[in-house]
């Protein structure tokens, strides 16, 4: 009897100890850093299908070809519209800088045959009428928020950390976000965004991800704005990583070529 009790006590002790060590190691800050540092390749290319759905259930589909190239200072991105037909050939390029300078953005309208710089006030603007802001699409540095590991739970058979992140700056567009991070690959599986008043604004879910060329890559994701009942689904296909996209792809001249 005594041995069994001892054994139980030991098991409980060790398992508790084990958990505390894990928690000590993986606090919110560390988890989010691991997510941020998840290797993603130096360049990515592929097709993007954006499906926008409004309150009435009307849908709009846009297909784009996109190229991304990242180096230590800059993330360059160029997108070419494939459909709908009347905007085919329209291209959009953005350069964003690690040092916090404003993004540079250009648009080429084939009907106007001219490239124009566009500038937008803030990263809180929505990207192409979708439910993603520019900031949602980029990587926010973990040092900009306070992180707190709330709990661990299993979502859709994935063991996850649940981390709450509150911005350090005063008037950020979200009062907080809660992220479900998969334990095995440090990819975010789901994120809830809360508006300035503290109400749930949007939910982002990753519905498909794969390892491509050795990198964990998100292939399907959906952003649902619960306040506006508006949804954006992004489907990536034909994704190629580290195939060596040339620097010349990210020029105003390239924009006019249509792809």
Which residues contribute to the site for another protein (CB under 8 A)?
Answer: 52, 54, 56, 58-60, 81, 84, 86-87, 90, 92, 106-107, 109-112, 114-121, 125-129, 197
Rounded to an integer, what distance in angstroms lies between the CA atom of residue 172 and that of residue 128? 21
Whichever of 39 and 57 has its CB closer to another protein, that residue is 57
* Least distance to another protein, CB of residue 122, Å: 9
Cα dist. 61→53, 93, 170, 259 in Å? 9, 20, 36, 19
Query: Would you call 231 exposed, middle or buried from its count of C-beta atoms within 10 A (0-12, 13-18, 19+)?
Result: buried
Whichever of 217 and 254 has its CB closer to another protein, that residue is 254
* Least distance to another protein, CB of residue 135, Å: 15
Phi, psi of 66 (to 5 degrees): -130, 150
* Least distance to another protein, CB of residue 197, Å: 8
Whichever of 127 and 180 has its CB closer to another protein, that residue is 127
Rounded to an integer, what distance in angstroms lies between the CA atom of residue 151 and that of residue 130? 31
Instruction: Compute the CA torsion angle 188, 194, 195, 197 (nearest 10 deg).
Output: -160
Whichever of 131 and 164 has its CB closer to another protein, that residue is 131
Rounded to an integer, what distance in angstroms lies between the CA atom of residue 203 and that of residue 246? 35
Of the candidates 93, 28, 126, 10, which has an alpha carbon nearest to the alpha carbon of residue 259? 93
Whichever of 2 and 113 has its CB closer to another protein, that residue is 113
* Least distance to another protein, CB of residue 40, Å: 24
* Least distance to another protein, CB of residue 247, Å: 22
* Least distance to another protein, CB of residue 244, Å: 29
Whichever of 22 and 118 has its CB closer to another protein, that residue is 118
Residue 10: alpha-carbon gap to chain centroid:
43
Residue 97: alpha-carbon gap to chain centroid:
17
């Amino acid at each position: 009897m005594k041995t069994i009790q001892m054994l139980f006590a030991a098991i409980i002790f060790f398992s508790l100890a084990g958990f505390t060590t894990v928690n000590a190691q993986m606090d919110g800050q560390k988890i989010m850093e691991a997510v941020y540092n998840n290797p993603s390749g130096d360049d990515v290319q592929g097709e993007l299908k954006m499906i926008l759905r409004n309150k009435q259930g009307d849908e709009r589909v846009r297909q784009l070809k996109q190229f991304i190239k990242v180096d230590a200072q800059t993330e360059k991105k160029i997108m070419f519209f494939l459909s709908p037909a009347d905007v085919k050939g329209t291209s959009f390029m953005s350069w964003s800088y690690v040092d916090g300078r404003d993004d540079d953005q250009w648009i080429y309208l084939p009907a106007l045959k001219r490239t124009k710089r566009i500038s937008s006030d803030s990263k809180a603007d929505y990207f192409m009428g979708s439910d993603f802001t520019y900031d949602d699409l980029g990587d926010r540095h973990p040092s900009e928020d306070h992180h707190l590991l709330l709990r661990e739970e299993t979502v859709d058979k994935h063991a996850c950390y649940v981390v709450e992140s509150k911005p350090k700056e005063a008037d950020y567009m979200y009062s907080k976000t809660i992220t479900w991070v998969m334990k095995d690959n440090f990819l975010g599986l789901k994120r809830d965004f809360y508006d300035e008043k503290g109400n749930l604004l949007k939910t982002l879910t990753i519905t498909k991800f794969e390892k491509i060329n050795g990198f964990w890559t998100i292939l399907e994701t959906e952003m649902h704005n619960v306040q506006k009942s508006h949804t954006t689904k992004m489907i990536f296909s034909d994704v190629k990583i580290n195939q060596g996209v040339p620097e010349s792809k990210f020029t105003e001249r390239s924009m006019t070529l249509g792809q």
